[in-house]
Structure 1
């Protein structure tokens, strides 16, 4: 059995679905169900006895301790995090509470559980912490992609809180011997993505005839990773990663934000044309750039390929087409997550 935190969120939810599609090993799924946690993502598992959902906060050490003692997992995979840069700028406190204090409490609950395990179970146990490339800061157009040896230079409250959590995980390994693994991924996209992030926001705004907001000049570059490729990388690291090591997970798909939006528009022009025959790209609108916006992220994932044989299966072109089609085919899921509170937040962030 494994225990997953944040397993009703975007990446965690995809991980749980993929895990149970490929394995009969049970999952204890712990999620606080904040605005981005969505049990609709897990609806297909409602009758699956291998999936046990528990609504709980990773900051609640007492609840975590009881869950660990009762279910005795062989591994904990930590996806739980506040993860949106824009929200961290307007409300950094929640990011410190969840990503720093929450990770500390989770580590302490896991350490207490792991310390008391029998020798063989103790040796086999793993704690895998899922993090982001944003902890490394920003790159110029000519800089080499981020490697695991890059120093941390976080530039937003979000990335600073994730950097702090990474340091805690590292320290709990070196001080207490906790058997940890850390992954730092590039920008994920794919099914079940809460529509505040660029790709799902653009897809849904395009279909609704709304403006497609582009920060600044739209030339911010990101490496795009299809979420199911990310999930396969995590499974691979969990299985054979070296204790105490960090593995960067990337898609080898550097794209400017404006190019991403134009690609989405072109796919929609092809498979879901506007009724008036106009191009979706005509809805593109430039908005004021956000404070401290990092110019470029890029991931060097060669260590993961060299040591564990992992490569992404999807190119950006295949992954983005699958993603657009998924949103077209799953309007019920979209309708359930786009609540009034979400619409208010979008209006505040991008203008009505």
Structure 2
């Protein structure tokens, strides 16, 4: 394993300031104890692929692919994990690969052209998976400039750098949220559906896609776009609903739903997502778009019930009084899409299939967070609040009112202004 930012120590960390800057805790036991989780697919290696750069490689979904490709194709592919180590990433996610000859880590920022080009040239990169992005919708309402900078400008930097060095494959990871809200009685959306994002995060991802399209047309950049629905599983930073709620319940604290808990999301286990990206790498056609979608659609309120049962806090037959002890409510986002729904037929035609049921995936996820979640990222207390605010790399806990009953949406605009005010105040300190 190699690290760009200085000589690598035996534990894969370059220097003390590096650890302190990223709030990283050296805990050998936690990553050694945890199971090594990867996907299940394995294909005949591609002859024109050798050196694969995965941006955001120390984050959640990308780290699953980093581990999967490194361990599944040890003699075919060299995997370079490129990550700036933001608040939601951790070297724990890939530390098990430190002694693998085909794995390297490069600490860099996708918005820094010199670091991107240096990595591409140093490792003779021929294939890019672009995962690196600001992705937490709640934060995008009050910190939207950062989302535009990372998701749009960062993608532009990567595209321009890829053009410069002659990349053979550029796989851009987007989201189903670019389609916007889907009504209950509407058909699942195809890759050809109109993009209609409704929040700053989704809009930044749609804008990034437009840049990818432009480089395909103008410069013949060999690209593929992937739009995935919600992915869950071990290694996900606890700002997202499933790991956040598991961590709260494991601390004997109630979960807090935005609004009335009625919005639904489709969830795909991270191992199946890794298989999807592996399939697209080996079977996907350049110039195409692929939806990565699950059929496991669950409301936020139903998700809470499933977690409470899975964690043996209540029984499946528990009444409303038992639920009220563990489920609280606060106001909703400024706008909250009721549901997303994408059609995955095109990906299934490549041979991919969803293998992990939601019940099984949730069981594995709950078990992992109970055993390792409280040590993986250090102190995550502030992240577990209903509407945490990010100022730089510091997560600030909120103090929003919580009720035993569903909240109306009227406070949404006030919350939007409050987040913006807090973010600006912290940024100007």
Correspondence 1:263 to 2:306: yes
Correspondence 1:164 to 2:164: no
User: Which moved further from structure 2: 48-57 or 325-334?
Assistant: 325-334
Correspondence 1:237 to 2:287: no
The 1:349/1:79 distance shift into structure 2, 3 A limit, reads: farther
Q: Is the 8 A contact 1:269 1:279 kept in 2?
A: no
Aligned to 1:107: 159
- Structure ID, larger Rg: 2
Match of 2:371 among 326, 329, 340: 329
TM-score by length of structure 1 reads 0.91
Aligned to 1:2: 52
Correspondence 1:69 to 2:137: no
Q: Is the 8 A contact 1:213 1:350 kept in 2?
A: no
Aligned ranges 1:1-352 → 2 under 5 Å: 1-24=51-74, 25-114=77-166, 125-269=168-312, 282-306=325-349, 308-331=350-373, 333-334=375-376, 336=378, 338=380, 345=389, 347-348=397-398
What root-mean-square deviation, in Å, do the aligned CA atoms of Structure 1 and Structure 2 show? 2.1
Summarize deviations over 1:281-335 as a string: whole Å, max 9, x none.
73110111111100011121011112x0111111111111111111112145445
Q: Is the 8 A contact 1:262 1:281 kept in 2?
A: no
Q: Is the 8 A contact 2:92 2:376 kept in 1?
A: no
Q: Is the 8 A contact 2:163 2:221 kept in 1?
A: yes
Give secondary structure in 1 for the equivalent of 2:311.
helix
User: Which moved further from structure 2: 102-111 or 9-18?
Assistant: 9-18
Distance in 1 between the 2:236 and 2:323 partners? 21
- Post-superposition shift, 1:339? 6.2
Distance in 1 between the 2:271 and 2:314 partners? 23
Give secondary structure in 2 for the equivalent of 1:112.
helix
Q: Which runs of 5 or more structure 1 residues have no equivalent in the other structure? A: 115-121, 273-277
Give secondary structure in 2 for the equivalent of 1:53.
strand
Distance in 1 between the 2:368 and 2:314 partners? 12
Distance in 2 between the 1:112 and 1:332 partners? 43
The 1:136/1:334 distance shift into structure 2, 3 A limit, reads: same
Distance in 2 between the 1:342 and 1:206 partners? 11
Give secondary structure in 1 for the equivalent of 2:266.
strand
Summarize deviations over 1:124-153 as a string: whole Å, max 9, x none.
x21000110000000111111121011000
Give secondary structure in 1 for the equivalent of 2:307.
helix
Q: How many aligned residue pairs are there? A: 337
Distance in 2 between the 1:75 and 1:317 partners? 35
Distance in 1 between the 2:381 and 2:397 partners? 13
Q: Is the 8 A contact 1:248 1:304 kept in 2?
A: yes
Distance in 2 between the 1:340 and 1:263 partners? 24
Q: Is the 8 A contact 2:110 2:155 kept in 1?
A: yes
Distance in 1 between the 2:85 and 2:379 partners? 12
Distance in 2 between the 1:171 and 1:217 partners? 41
Summarize deviations over 1:100-143 as a string: whole Å, max 9, x none.
001000100011000xxxxxxx6xx2100011000000011111
Distance in 1 between the 2:170 and 2:377 partners? 35
User: Which moved further from structure 2: 217-226 or 91-100?
Assistant: 217-226
- Post-superposition shift, 1:271? 11
Q: Is the 8 A contact 2:80 2:103 kept in 1?
A: yes
User: Which moved further from structure 2: 289-298 or 65-74?
Assistant: 65-74
Distance in 2 between the 1:281 and 1:27 partners? 47
Q: Is the 8 A contact 2:314 2:322 kept in 1?
A: no
Distance in 2 between the 1:271 and 1:221 partners? 22
Give secondary structure in 1 for the equivalent of 2:398.
helix
- Post-superposition shift, 1:342? 7.1
